[in-house]
Chain A
Amino acid sequence: MNLDKVKLITSREYWTRVKKKTFLISTILTPLSIVAIAALSGYMSSGAVSKAVNVIVKDESNLVRDRIRSSKSMSFEFSQAPVSELSTMVEDGRYDYAVIIPEVEDSTVVNEYETTIIGLDKPGFGALERLQGRLEKATKKYNIIQSGYTEAELDKLEAKVKFDIEVLKEGEGEDVSNASIAIGSAVGGIMGFIMYIVLLVYGSFVMRSVMEEKINRIVEVVISSVKPFELMLGKILGVGLVGLTQIFVWIVLIGIGMMILTAVFGVSSVDPSQMATAMDMVEEVQTQSDDGFSISKFLTDIKEINWPLITICFAIFFFGGFFIYASLFAAVGSAIGDDMTEGQSLTFPIMIPIIASIIMLMPMINEPNGPLAIFGSIFPLTSPLLMPARAAFDPPIWQVIISIALLIASCIFFVWLSGKIYRAGILLYGKKLSFKNLFQIIKN
Chain B
Amino acid sequence: MAILQLNNVVKEYKDKRAVDSVSFSIPEGKIFGLLGPNGAGKTSIIRMITNITRPDAGSILFRGEELRREHIEQIGYLPEERGLYKKMKVGEQLLYLARIKGMNKQEARSALKAEAEKFEIESWWDKKIEELSKGMQQKIQFIATTIHNPRLLILDEPFTGLDPINTNLIKSEIRKKVDNGCTVIFSTHRMEQVEEVCENIVLINQGQNILEGSVERVKEDNKEHKYEVRSREALRVSLDQDIIKTEPTDDGAIVYTRADLSPDKALRILLDQGNAISSFQEVLPSLDEIFIKTVQQKQEA
Chain A interface (Cβ within 8 Å of chain B)?
Answer: 5, 8-9, 12, 16, 20, 213, 216-227, 427, 440
B88: contacting residue among A9, A16, A440, CB under 8 A: A16
Find out whether the CB atom of A225 lies under 8 angstroms from the CB atom of B101: yes
Find out whether the CB atom of B81 lies under 8 angstroms from the CB atom of A427: no
Find out whether the CB atom of B83 lies under 8 angstroms from the CB atom of A221: yes
Find out whether the CB atom of A216 lies under 8 angstroms from the CB atom of B87: no
Find out whether the CB atom of A16 lies under 8 angstroms from the CB atom of B87: yes
Given contacts A224-B50, A224-B75, contact A218 B99 (CB under 8 A): no
Q: In the bound complex, how far is the Cα of B97 from the Cα of A20, in angstroms?
A: 20
Q: Is B232 an interface residue (CB 8 A)?
A: no
> 12 more A-B contacts (CB under 8 A) besides A224-B50, A224-B51?
A8-B99, A8-B100, A213-B85, A217-B79, A218-B84, A220-B52, A221-B141, A224-B77, A225-B97, A225-B102, A226-B100, A440-B14
Find out whether the CB atom of A224 lies under 8 angstroms from the CB atom of B85: no
Find out whether the CB atom of B52 lies under 8 angstroms from the CB atom of A221: no
Query: Nearest chain-B residue to A16 (Cβ)?
Result: B88
Q: What residues on A are CB-neighbors of B86 within 8 Å?
A: 216
6 residue pairs from A and B, CB less than 8 Å apart: A12-B96, A16-B88, A213-B85, A217-B82, A221-B83, A221-B141
Query: Nearest chain-B residue to A9 (Cβ)?
Result: B100
Q: Is B144 an interface residue (CB 8 A)?
A: yes
Find out whether the CB atom of B96 lies under 8 angstroms from the CB atom of A221: no
Q: In the bound complex, how far is the Cα of B105 from the Cα of A378, in angstroms?
A: 45
The 8 closest A-B pairs by CB, nearest first: A217-B83, A218-B83, A217-B81, A224-B50, A220-B79, A216-B83, A225-B100, A224-B77
Find out whether the CB atom of A218 lies under 8 angstroms from the CB atom of B51: no
Q: In the bound complex, how far is the Cα of B77 from the Cα of A226, in angstroms?
A: 13
CB distance from A227 to the nearest CB of B (A): 8
CB distance from B131 to the nearest CB of A (A): 15
Find out whether the CB atom of A220 lies under 8 angstroms from the CB atom of B77: yes
Chain B interface (Cβ within 8 Å of chain A)?
Answer: 14, 47, 50-53, 69, 72-73, 75, 77, 79, 81-88, 92, 96-97, 99-102, 141, 144-145
Q: What residues on A are CB-neighbors of B82 within 8 Å?
A: 217
Query: Nearest chain-A residue to B88 (Cβ)?
Result: A16
Q: What residues on A are CB-neighbors of B47 within 8 Å?
A: 427
Find out whether the CB atom of A223 lies under 8 angstroms from the CB atom of B83: no
CB distance from A216 to the nearest CB of B (A): 4
Query: Nearest chain-B residue to A424 (Cβ)?
Result: B53
A221: contacting residue among B53, B97, B99, CB under 8 A: B97
B72: contacting residue among A12, A213, A224, A427, CB under 8 A: A224
Given contacts A8-B96, A216-B86, contact A221 B144 (CB under 8 A): yes
Q: What residues on B are CB-neighbors of A224 within 8 Å?
A: 50-52, 72, 75, 77
CB distance from A348 to the nearest CB of B (A): 25
Q: What residues on B are CB-neighbors of A226 within 8 Å?
A: 100
Q: What residues on A are CB-neighbors of B77 within 8 Å?
A: 220-221, 224
Query: Nearest chain-A residue to B96 (Cβ)?
Result: A12
Q: In the bound complex, how far is the Cα of B47 from the Cα of A223, in angstroms?
A: 10
Q: What residues on B are CB-neighbors of A227 within 8 Å?
A: 69
Q: What residues on B are CB-neighbors of A440 within 8 Å?
A: 14
Q: What residues on B are CB-neighbors of A221 within 8 Å?
A: 77, 79, 83, 97, 141, 144-145
Find out whether the CB atom of B79 lies under 8 angstroms from the CB atom of A427: no
Q: What residues on A are CB-neighbors of B96 within 8 Å?
A: 8, 12
Q: In the bound complex, how far is the Cα of B144 from the Cα of A2, in angstroms?
A: 21
B100: contacting residue among A5, A20, A216, CB under 8 A: A5
Find out whether the CB atom of A220 lies under 8 angstroms from the CB atom of B81: yes
Q: In the bound complex, how far is the Cα of B100 from the Cα of A12, in angstroms?
A: 11
Given contacts A217-B81, A427-B53, contact A222 B100 (CB under 8 A): yes
Query: Nearest chain-B residue to A215 (Cβ)?
Result: B83
Q: What residues on B are CB-neighbors of A427 within 8 Å?
A: 47, 52-53
Q: In the bound complex, how far is the Cα of B86 from the Cα of A16, in angstroms?
A: 11
Q: What residues on B are CB-neighbors of A9 within 8 Å?
A: 100
Q: In the bound complex, how far is the Cα of B47 from the Cα of A219, in angstroms?
A: 12
Find out whether the CB atom of B88 lies under 8 angstroms from the CB atom of A223: no
Query: Nearest chain-A residue to B76 (Cβ)?
Result: A224
Find out whether the CB atom of B72 lies under 8 angstroms from the CB atom of A225: yes
Q: In the bound complex, how far is the Cα of B72 from the Cα of A16, in angstroms?
A: 26
CB distance from B30 to the nearest CB of A (A): 22
CB distance from B49 to the nearest CB of A (A): 9
Q: What residues on B are CB-neighbors of A223 within 8 Å?
A: 52
Q: In the bound complex, how far is the Cα of B258 from the Cα of A185, in angstroms?
A: 97
* B51, B52, B102, B144 — most chain A CB neighbours (10 Å): B52
Q: What residues on B are CB-neighbors of A216 within 8 Å?
A: 83-86
Q: In the bound complex, how far is the Cα of B54 from the Cα of A318, in angstroms?
A: 36
A218: contacting residue among B75, B85, B102, CB under 8 A: B85
Query: Nearest chain-B residue to A234 (Cβ)?
Result: B100
CB distance from A43 to the nearest CB of B (A): 41
Find out whether the CB atom of A219 lies under 8 angstroms from the CB atom of B83: yes
Q: What residues on A are CB-neighbors of B79 within 8 Å?
A: 217, 220-221
Q: In the bound complex, how far is the Cα of B100 from the Cα of A9, in angstroms?
A: 8
Query: Nearest chain-A residue to B102 (Cβ)?
Result: A225
Query: Nearest chain-B residue to A230 (Cβ)?
Result: B100
Q: What residues on B are CB-neighbors of A219 within 8 Å?
A: 83
CB distance from A414 to the nearest CB of B (A): 24
Q: In the bound complex, how far is the Cα of B79 from the Cα of A218, in angstroms?
A: 9
Query: Nearest chain-B residue to A5 (Cβ)?
Result: B100
CB distance from B54 to the nearest CB of A (A): 11
Q: What residues on A are CB-neighbors of B51 within 8 Å?
A: 224
Query: Nearest chain-B residue to A426 (Cβ)?
Result: B52
Q: What residues on A are CB-neighbors of B145 within 8 Å?
A: 221
CB distance from A234 to the nearest CB of B (A): 10
CB distance from A235 to the nearest CB of B (A): 12
* B69, B99, B145 — most chain A CB neighbours (10 Å): B99
CB distance from B101 to the nearest CB of A (A): 5
Q: What residues on A are CB-neighbors of B144 within 8 Å?
A: 221
Q: What residues on A are CB-neighbors of B85 within 8 Å?
A: 16, 213, 216, 218
